[in-house]
Amino acid sequence: MALHYFEANDLTRGISCFSLDLYQECAKTTSENVIISPLSVASALALLQQGSGGSTFEELRNGLHLTADKETTANQFLEYYDLLRKSAGKSILTIANHVYIKTGYQVNPNFKFTSDVNFANSDASAATINGFVTEKTQGKITNLIEPTSLNTLTRVVLVNAIYFKGDWLHKFPKDRTKKDHFYISEVDTVKVDFMHTKNKFKYSNIHALDAAALEMKYLNSNLSFLIILPKKRTGLSLEENVKNFGLNKILGLMFLCEVIVTVPKFKIEFEISLKNVLKKMGMSGMFDGADLSDLLMTAEPLEISEVLHKAFIEVNEEGSIAAAATAIFAVFGSAPAPVPPPKIFRADHPFIFFIIDTQTRTILFNGRINSPTN
């Protein structure tokens, strides 16, 4: 699959930088398991950017690490989504945006996929939006929005939903899945289901991070599941170093070899208000008198009241399922070598992970496992 236009484009590089920034800030909010979709959040913010102007547009452009003008960015995202879907191959990847507008208001005609809703009827409006998210994520994300999030001041809700399902290139034999100890501290453990296999994977021992990395490919796809495993049982402080070291550098250090792999099965769900996270990333002005003059045809002051994000992932012997949704609320306001022995990769203590497109280096999902839940 050729990259064509995106080989020289700043969009993928910008979204990659944004993704690592976002994960770092989200990870600081909790000591528990984390799963987010930077692609979903970036998509929702890019949608908002199309309705913004002035300092709000610049703030969003800088926060997303983009450099193009509005029209170019919109065209880039359309090609970007198409490229990602093609890159997914036999894996399922769906990305959907929708804009919900208060009845009686008109959205800028450049926005597609819009619906009128009566936000004053908060129960019905929330059910409509949640129904869209549930449908687009195959039932994995439910109740993204509470009725109390909507009121008579709500003018627009911008929503992105993303769903992924991929089967492993090398599946884990189910009869080899066994209970074992996962270290949640230097000495404390919990018993969880561990999957085992031996096959050829891309692997690297990254001395600069004091960690090992393993890439597990999805079948007939450019998408992969990447684990970065600290050497120490309590070594998740490497999260702060991964961004500086660079995901591209990590992937560039990996080589194909035989690996004995032990990883836990897990299923996690995570939800977060991104308001404070985005403020810390330099996008604070839009929460206090944003310039959203290109969003509605009606001239009235708007501001962003909230940005909600919810994500889910399940990893088992067959593959992975992941889904996420993001909602933004705009309200009225003011040569062959000898075969070496196999490497051993045993993820029996906290680690960070990514679902990535290895062609564009896009991070679709990433997170950390502190304590697996099956």
N- to C-terminal Cα separation, the chain: 35
Q: Which tokens is 102 given?
A: 């208060």
Q: Same topology for domains 4-166+268-332 and 168-265+337-369, yes or no?
A: no
Please give the C-alpha separations between residue 84 and each of 79, 92, 115, 159, 181, in angstroms, as whole numbers.
9, 11, 26, 19, 37
Q: What is the pLDDT at residue 337?
A: 47
**pTM score, two decimals?**
0.94
Percent of the chain with pLDDT over 90: 73
Which among 114, 84, 159 is positioned nearest to 325, based on CA atoms?
A: 159
Q: Per-residue pLDDT for 117 more than 60?
A: yes
Of 80-89, 105-114, 249-258, 359-368, minimum mean pLDDT range: 105-114
pLDDT-derived band at 368, boundaries 50, 70, 90: very high
How confident is the model at residue 338, as a pLDDT?
Answer: 57
Superfamily of domain 168-265+337-369: Alpha-1-antitrypsin, domain 1 (2.30.39.10)
Residue 47: how many other CB atoms lie within 10 Å: 22
Q: Give the start-to-end residue ranges of the domains of the chain.
A: 4-166+268-332, 168-265+337-369
Give the number of other CB atoms < 10 A from CB of residue 27: 18
Helices (H) and strands (E) in the chain, counts: 8, 15
Each residue of 61-96: pLDDT tens digit?
999 999 888 888 888 898 899 999 999 999 999 999
373 pLDDT tier (thresholds 50, 70, 90)? confident
Tens digits of per-residue pLDDT, 9-57? Answer: 778 889 999 999 999 999 999 999 999 999 999 999 999 999 998 999 9
pLDDT at 4: 47
pLDDT band at 290 (very low <50, low <70, confident <90, very high): confident
* Cβ atoms of residues 119 and 151 within 8 Å: yes
pLDDT of residue 2: 41
Q: Cα angle at 12 between 132 and 215, to 5 degrees?
A: 85
Strands (E), 104-218: 114-117, 154-167, 178-183, 189-206, 211-217
Would you state the CATH architecture of domain 4-166+268-332?
2-Layer Sandwich (3.30)
Read off the pLDDT of each residue in 181-202 and give the average, rounded to a whole number: 95
Question: What is the tens place of the pLDDT at every residue in 120-156?
Answer: 999 999 999 999 999 999 999 999 999 999 999 999 9
Mean pLDDT of the chain: 91
